Amino acid sequence: MHRELRRPNVTLMLLWEEYCDANSGSFSYARFCERYKEWTGRLKPTLRQVHVAGEKLFVDYSGHTMEVVDGLSGEARSMQIFVAELGASNYTYAEASFNRSLRQGIAVDHDSGARVAMA
């Protein structure tokens, strides 16, 4: 189960639904999450990182895209999702753009830094 959660789009809710389908006397979702949290609490933590507030901004494109439909022409275009996150607070900023060009990436990265600073 722990390994499954590393896969894209796999959530505890999805795993719980699969568990309920396979078991007639299943736990409630809250109890399922509680037991999973208890189990993960017994794991040895690895690579714990401490981030000083405001020191680091992590940026990348998410890898997933989204479709946007032009209301006038009806044309669907794929958009890239840029994500920036402050290391200490996990404050997240996301923005969609039509491409991943260097110029677009620099502009979005600059905007994210300014918007995170204003929050």
DSSP state letter for 3: T
Q: What is the pLDDT of residue 67?
A: 92
75-88 pLDDT per residue, tens = 999 988 888 888 88
Task: Identify each DSSP E strand in 24-91 by its residue range.
Answer: 57-69, 76-86
DSSP state letter for 83: E
20-30 pLDDT per residue, tens = 999 888 889 99
40-49 pLDDT per residue, tens = 888 877 776 7
Whether this model's pTM surpasses 0.85: no
Alpha-carbon span 89 to 58, nearest angstrom: 12
Q: What is the pLDDT of residue 14?
A: 93
Q: Which residue has the tokens 């996990």?
A: 90
